[in-house]
A and B are shown apart, each in its own frame.
Chain A
Amino acid sequence: MNTRRYIRERFFPHLWCPGCGHGIVMSALVGAVDSLGLSQNEVVVISGIGCSSRMPGYLDFHTMHTLHGRALAFATGVKMGRPDLTVIVPMGDGDAAAIGGNHLIHAARRNLDLTAVVLNNRIYGMTGGQSSPTTPEGDRSTTAPYGVLDPSFDLVELARGAGASFVARSTTYHAQETRELLAAAIAHQGFSLVEVLSQCPTYYGRKNQGGDAVAMMKTFKQITAPAGSQRAAQDPGLITRGILVQEPRTEYCAAYGELVRELSGHEE
C-alpha cells in the first residue's frame, strides 16, 4: 500500500511526540480506508481538539478539526447532509468520554453511520497530562497528584449501553488487528466505535512509571486478550480485544430517507 497517497506529506514529520501511539492508529486508519478501496473524495475525517485530534490535518481527505468533544455533533450534520460519504471521527478519551460524552451516547443511540475511533491514552495529552475519565483509579496525573479517586469509564460498555451497533477494541501493539477492526467498523452500516489503547509516553507513561513507548506497548500485549480466547476466559482481569458488539440495526439516515419517501408518496 502506498501510505503517502493518503497523507499531506508537507506536514511531516508530524507534531506527535516520539513513540506516541496516535501515529500508529492513523497509519492503521489509512490502511483500513485503502483496504476498502474508498476514494479520498468520499471520506470525511472530523476530529475535536486534543493530540489525537491533530489527525485530520495530516490526512488527505475532506477534513475538519472542530471543538473539544463536539466532533460527533459536527459529524452528524455532515452525515445527514451527505449520507453517501464515509465519515470517520477520531477522538481522544477526554474528547469522547468527558466533554463529549453526551454526544457519544446519543450518536450511539441514533445509530447514524459514523465511525468513532477513540484513541485512549488514559490521559489528557494536549494539555499536559491531566486525568481523564479513562485514567485508571489510583493512577497519577497532574490533576491527581495523589492518584485518581474516581472510577474510570469502560468505553466499550458505555457504547454498548448506549446502543452502539458495532463496538470493537484493540491496541497500538496490535496494529494489524486495529486496521482490520477499523475496516470492519467503517464497513458497518450504523454507528461504530473502535477503542484503541494508545500510548502517551510523554505524560501517562512518565507519571505512572509506564516506561517508554516500547514498554507501554508490551504492557498492552500483556493486559489484553482476544475476546472469546482461552486466555480471556482464564483471566477475567484482562481487557478483551476484537469485535465486541455487532448487531444489525436500522441506520438513522436510512430511516430518515424512508420517511421522506413515504411522505412524498402520499402528498397532503
Chain B
Amino acid sequence: MPKETIFAQGNEAVVQGALYAGLDFYAGYPITPSTEIAEILAQRLPQAGGRFIQMEDELASLCAVIGASLTGLKAMTATSGPGFSLMQEALGYAVMAEVPCVVVNVQRGGPSTGMPTAVAQGDVMQARWGTHGDHAIIALTASNLADVFLMTVEAFNLAETYRTPVILLLDEVVGHMREKLVIPGPGEVEVVQRLRTSVPEGTDYHPYLAREDGRLPMSDFGGVHRFNVTGLVHDMWGFPSNDPAVAYGLLHHLVDKLENRAETLARYQDFFCDDAEVLLISYGSAARSALHLVEQRRARGMKIGLLELNTLWPFPAQTVRKYCRGRGHVLVVEMNRGQLHGEVQKAAEQPERVYLANRYDGVFISHKDIMQVLHVVLGKGV
C-alpha cells in the first residue's frame, strides 16, 4: 500500500498508529477529550476483524485489555484524567504481571473533573507514580500528528519488547488539533511483534524468566503452556511467593528493566541546540509554542534552542543533563505546576539555572507566555 495522506485530528492519529502497529483489541469508556479514539475504533476495528468493546468503566476497560493481551492480542485503551485515575489499580497489575498493553491518556485540566475540555499536562507525575508501590513505567508523548502516529507505534513496540504497559500521554490540544498526517506504507516504520516462547509442549516453560537479553518470551492463554498470572509477588512460574529473595529479585527486575535502559528508551528531538545559550525543554502541545518561540527568536539572532522530549518516563536524565550542560539558562515549558521541571532540576548539574515557564489555568501556553518568563529570567524585566 502506498503512503496515504489524510487530514486528521490527533486522536485519529492515535487510531492510525495503533492500527498500523497491529491493534486488535480495544476496550474503553467515553471521556472528553479522548472519546474520538473510542468512536473511530468502534467503527474501524470490526471492519478490520479486530475487537471493540465499551466497558462499564475505565478500570474494567484496562482489565479487559490485559485479559485480551494475555490471549496474544495487541490491546489498548484510551481515557483522560478521571478515567486514568480509575485505571491505576489495573495499571499496577499490568506492571506486576508484565502484560504488554497501551494506555492513552489525553490530558485535561484537573484535579477531579477539573476542566474537561481544557488543556493541561498535569498527569505527568500520575503517569509515573499513579499506581501504588515501587515500579517503573514508560510514558511517551508527542506534539504533532506525525509524532503522535510514530509514538503510538512506538508505544506498542516498547510494550511488546519489555512486556510492560506503556502510557501515551497526550493532551487536549494535541488530541483535538487538526493537521495533515502522512500514513507510512507497510514496513516503513518498524512494528515489533510479540516474542513467543520456543519451548515445546511438555517442557517446563517459565513465563517470568528473562532471557539473556532481558526479554521474557510469552505464551498465549489457550496455548500449550499452562501457567499462572497474578498481581502478587510471584516466582518464575507466576506462582505467589512470600520469599523475601523472590520479592527483592522481582522488584529489581521490574524497575531495572526500564530504568537501566532510560537512555535507550529516550526519544527526543532537538532544535537549534548546538550553540544555544538558552535551552527550552518541553513536550506535548507546549513544545509547539516553545518551538514557535525558538524559531521567532532565532530569526532575531538570539541563541536559543529546544529539546523536545517524547519519552517522559523513564526520565532520560543523562540526555537532559548533557543538553543542559554549559547553557546560560534552561527553561522548562509545561502546562502544570512544574512536574517535569523538578526532574530536570534533579538531572541538571546547575539546577539553579533551570527555570519554569508554565500555565495551569486551562489556557494553552503561547510563545508570548514563554517569552514573558524568559524576559524575567534574563533580567530584562517584564
State yes or no: do A and B come from one complex. Answer: yes
Q: Quick check: B240 and A77 within 8 Å, CB to CB?
A: no
Instruction: Tell me whether A264 is interfacial, beta carbon within 8 Å.
Output: yes
Q: Is the CB of B240 within 8 A of A263?
A: no
Query: Which residue of B has the minimal Cβ distance to A80?
Result: B51
State which of A40, A63, A64, A80 has its C-beta within 8 Å of the C-beta of B64. A80
Task: Give Cα A81–Cα B71 distance, bound, in whole angstroms.
Answer: 6
Q: Tell me if A64 and B70 are in contact (CB < 8 A).
A: yes
Given known pairs A65-B230, A70-B60, A256-B46, the reply for A80 and B224 (CB within 8 Å) is: no
Please give me the residue from chain B that is nearest to A64 by CB atom: B229
Given A78-B68, A82-B71, A256-B51, A67-B90 contact (CB < 8 Å):
yes
Q: How far is the CA of A67 from the CA of B230 in the complex (A)?
A: 9
Interface string of A7-22 (1 = CB under 8 A from B): 0000100000000000
Given contacts A62-B221, A63-B229, 17 further A-B contacts (CB under 8 A): A41-B222, A57-B240, A62-B226, A67-B63, A67-B231, A70-B90, A73-B61, A74-B66, A76-B53, A76-B67, A77-B25, A77-B63, A79-B67, A85-B71, A103-B60, A260-B49, A264-B49
A-B contacts counted at CB < 8 A amount to 131
Please, how many angstroms separate the alpha-carbon atoms of A158 and B69 in the complex? 30
**B226–A78 touching, CB < 8 Å:** no
B239 pairs with A57, CB closer than 8 A: yes
Q: Do residues A82 and B51 form an inter-chain contact, with CB atoms below 8 A?
A: no
Contact A66:B63 (CB < 8 A) given known A44-B221, A80-B51, A102-B56: yes
Interface presence of A75 (CB below 8 A): yes
Q: B25: which A residues are within 8 A, CB to CB?
A: 77, 80-81
Interface residues of A (CB under 8 A from B): 11, 40-42, 44, 46, 56-57, 60-67, 70, 73-82, 84-85, 102-103, 106, 256, 259-260, 263-264, 268
Task: State whether A63 and B49 are in contact (beta carbons under 8 Å apart), knowing that A70-B63, A74-B64, A78-B71 are contacts in the complex.
Answer: no
Please give the distance in Å from B19's CB to the nearest CB on chain A.
15
Chain A CB within 10 Å, residue with most, of B49, B53, B221: B221
- Which residues of chain B are near A62, meaning CB under 8 Å? 221-222, 226-227
Instruction: Give the distance in Å from the alpha carbon of A77 to the alpha carbon of B90 in the complex.
Output: 13
Q: A57-B240, A263-B46 known; A85 and B93 CB under 8 Å?
A: no
Residues in A whose Cβ lies below 8 Å from that of B224: 41
The reply to whether the CB of B247 lies closer than 8 angstroms to some CB of chain A is no
B53: chain A residues within 8 A (beta carbon): 76, 80
Structural contact, B55 and A85, CB atoms closer than 8 A = no
Cβ of B47 and Cβ of A268 under 8 Å apart? Answer: yes
Q: List 29 A-B contacts (CB under 8 A).
A: A40-B226, A41-B226, A57-B240, A61-B226, A63-B229, A64-B228, A65-B228, A65-B230, A65-B231, A66-B93, A67-B89, A70-B63, A73-B59, A73-B63, A73-B67, A74-B64, A74-B66, A74-B67, A75-B67, A76-B53, A76-B55, A77-B63, A77-B70, A81-B73, A106-B55, A106-B60, A256-B51, A259-B46, A263-B47
Which chain B residues lie closer than 8 Å to A40 at the CB level?
226
* Residues of B with C-beta under 8 A to A76: 27, 53, 55, 60, 63-64, 67
Tell me which residues across on chain B come within 8 A of A73, comparing CB atoms.
55-56, 59-61, 63-64, 67
Number of B residues near A (Cβ < 8 Å) is 42
Q: Is the interface of A mostly helix, strand, loop or mixed?
A: helix
A85 CB contacts on chain B under 8 angstroms? 71, 221-222
Q: Quick one: which of A66, A74, A84 contacts B222, CB cutoff 8 A?
A: A84
B64-83: which residues lie under 8 A (CB-CB) from chain A? 64-73, 75
Check if B51 sits within 8 Å of A78, measured CB to CB.
no
Query: Nearest-CB distance from B286 to chain A (Å)?
Result: 34
Whole-angstrom distance between the alpha carbons of A64 and B51 in the complex? 21
Which of A42, A66, A77 is B75 in contact with, Cβ under 8 Å? Answer: A77
Shortest Cβ distance from A100 into B: residue: B60
Cβ-neighbour of B67 out of A46, A60, A268 (below 8 A) = A46
Q: Is residue B40 within 8 Å, beta carbon to beta carbon, of the partner chain?
A: no
Min CB gap B371→A, angstroms: 48
Question: Of residues 29 to 63 in B, which have CB atoms within 8 Å of A's CB atoms?
Answer: 46-47, 49, 51, 53, 55-57, 59-61, 63
Residues in A with CB closer than 8 Å to B46 are 256, 259-260, 263
B310 smallest CB distance to A (angstroms): 29
A63 interface neighbour in B47, B59, B226, Cβ under 8 Å: B226
A21 to chain B, nearest CB (A): 22
- Check if B223 is an interface residue, CB within 8 A of chain A: yes
**A interface footprint on B202-232 (CB within 8 Å = 1, 0 otherwise):** 0000000000000000001111101111111
A78 proximity list for chain B (CB < 8 A): 67-68, 70-71, 221
- Is the CB–CB distance between B226 and A60 below 8 Å? yes
Query: What 8 pairs between A and B have smallest CB-CB spacing?
Result: A77-B67, A81-B71, A77-B64, A73-B63, A77-B68, A73-B60, A78-B67, A65-B230
Which residues on A sit within 8 Å (CB–CB) of B220? 82
Assembled-state Cα–Cα distance A268/B57 (Å): 32
Q: A70-B59, A80-B51 are in contact. Are A41 and B223 (CB under 8 A)?
A: yes
